[in-house]
Chains A and B, each alone.
Chain A
Amino acid sequence: MTTTTIQRTSPSPPTAAGPPRQRRGTAAGIIGRTVRYALLLFFLLIVLMPAYVLVVTSFKSGSDIGVTGQWNLPERWSTESWTKAWTALGPSFVRTFQLAIPVAVISSLLGAANGFVLSRWRFPGADIVFTLILFGMFIPYQAVMIPLREVVSTLGVPSGIPTLIFVHCIYGIPICTLIFRNYYATTVPVEMVEAAWVDGAGLIRTFRSIILPVSIPGFVVAVIWQFTSAWNDYLFAIFLSNTRNGPITIALNALAGAQSPDYAASMAGALITSLPTLVVYVLLGRWFIGGLMAGSVKS
């Protein structure tokens, strides 16, 4: 797999790359196909099982939530638990949008600028710089987190969402740079940039007039990636915020981690928490897949 995977959002028709499908008529072919579909369906059910539990339990209420019959459909469909969960999570739900949207926009812009320079305006030593940037993507954040708390408070960033925006943007630079660098390396011909250069366009001019207009797919991937990781983050959240000013993962954990948790409300809460990223994923899933592959560095 090369850097091109980023654009290959929906793989080419199978038969184009693969061998001819197994001959339909033969017994072996029929058995093979049946086994394949049976396995695929089996795994489909396994993967969906937790989703079933979440949905079913979230619509139960009162005596319906016993240990026995946990797997049954609700005797009476009730939205009581959803109301309860929303009451607990509502404010942090809004806050998390205030976190994830700026993070997605700012990180992508930084990533686009870096990616362009590192792919098409390469200076001596660019490879080493790029490798040093990438390393930031893999570090366990615990290794920076302890002094980080002191640094952000010294810098005077207000705690809670502003702090989280700040740190997500910084630690998002490596992955966004990677996404855009791979994207530009495969879609923008060197000649195009050189031609602009010969015509006397400077870096900023080239970036604005030539690069940005073709960058939409890169932006979609980076925005989805950063939105999702800021939305789903728990580690930075627990270190740098609290239930009063933190994002939704903190609020959900407070709801679900209580001494005697209300299962139905926790599950409704887990669904509410997951809805935005699931919507993004369903609407833009093909891009998401592309982004995942870009995340694999290069192989």
Chain B
Amino acid sequence: MLTRVRRWGPGLLLISPSLLLLGVFVYGLIGWTVKVSMSDRHTAAESDGFVGLSNYVDLFTNDINGRFVHSLRNLLIFTVVFLLGTMLLGLLWAFLLERGVRAEGVFRTVYLFPMAVSFVASGVVWRWLMNSAQGDDAGGLNAVFGQLNLGFLQNPWWTDPDWGMVAMAVPAIWQLSGYVMALFLAGFRGIPAELREAAAVDGASTFQLYRRVIFPQLTPVALSALIIVGHMSMKMFDLIMSVSGAQWLTEVPAVYVWQTLLTSDYAKASAISVILLLLVAVVIVPYLVQTMRTERRS
């Protein structure tokens, strides 16, 4: 026992402040949020009456105009488009750069630079680019479409009630495709040269090489990218706030939490937050557990 303490004690001591802080500020506060979400604290006044899951039930069945369900639907559309966009562009860019091109560094740097910019700053320019005016008044991208005789592409962007969230994903794709590219590029470069040579010796065509040898090797990278971009999508807040402000048309749960807090409805805001956390956890927890298992084996 004493030797164990002497062996592990110092290490545990060194990380204990971090563990304590995370214990309190991650797990403790999550617990607290869950507790508030089950209370009837709908105004700034203190109240801790326990109401069970009724705040959650209300969100799905009793929200004005189905607001919460509307925000979930928006989030779903946004996530699908955002994921498809970043994965496809990221993979394509990595594929184009994979075997080395002149000025590779320039392309990589430019594709990746939007990542260094905040969503709030990029929101300023995207709000301008996605100006909804059309025809003679057209501005932003609609003006470009007009100039190029592609007038049929002009659209109201995020102000469209049905397709608005697709437009909202455009700046997000602009911002994060470079990141996915970097992941895939590392994946491509991590494939041993012998594998490619062996395939070449066996007479595989370039197409077969990619189809049968290279792409299957990229599956783990694709999975990480999906998980990272997917969980960012569910937390998306800054971008939507800075492009559209907090508007019904583009509302997602993360923005809804903020709007609800403005009216001091702590219980409802907490319930939405907990649902958001559950959505993220469903994706993240299996991934983390899986990662831990593989690591233990190695």
Residues of A whose CB lies within 8 Å of any CB of B are 1-2, 5, 8, 11-19, 21, 36-37, 39-40, 43-44, 47-51, 53-54, 57, 67, 70-71, 110, 113-114, 116-118, 121-124, 127-136, 138-148, 151, 167, 170-171, 173-174, 177, 202-204, 207, 228, 231-235, 238, 249, 252-253, 256-257, 263, 266-267, 269-271, 273-274, 277-278, 280-282, 285, 288-289, 292-293, 295-299
Contacts and interface: CB of A to CB of B under 8 A. Distances in A.
Contacts of B128: 53, 57, 70, 263, 267
Contacts of B77: none
Contact of A292 (B183, B191, B277, B295): B183
Interface in B19-40: 19, 21-22, 25-27, 29-30, 32-33, 36
Residue picked from B11, B241, B258, most chain A C-beta under 10 Å: B11
Contacts, number: 306
Nearest to A19: B196
Interface string B1-33: 000000010111011011101100111011011
B179 A143 contact: no
A117 B186 contact: no
Contacts of A263: 128
Contacts of B234: 140
11 contacts: A43-B93, A47-B110, A48-B110, A70-B140, A121-B10, A131-B292, A132-B27, A147-B33, A238-B258, A256-B127, A296-B225
B284 interface: yes
Nearest to B171: A50
A144 B100 contact: no
Residue picked from B14, B111, B119, most chain A C-beta under 10 Å: B14
B74 interface: no
B42 interface: no
A11 B185 contact: yes
Interface of B: 8, 10-12, 14-15, 17-19, 21-22, 25-27, 29-30, 32-33, 36, 89, 92-93, 96-101, 104, 107-129, 131, 133, 137, 139-140, 143-144, 174, 178-179, 182-183, 185-193, 196-197, 200, 209, 220-221, 223-225, 228, 231, 234-235, 237-238, 241-242, 245, 254, 257-258, 261, 266, 269-270, 272-274, 276-277, 280, 284-285, 287-289, 291-292, 294-296
Q: A interface, by DSSP: helix, strand, loop or mixed?
A: helix
Given A118-B15, A129-B19, A204-B10, A270 B183 contact: no
A267 B128 CA distance: 10
A274 B110 contact: no
Contact of A127 (B118, B193, B292): B292
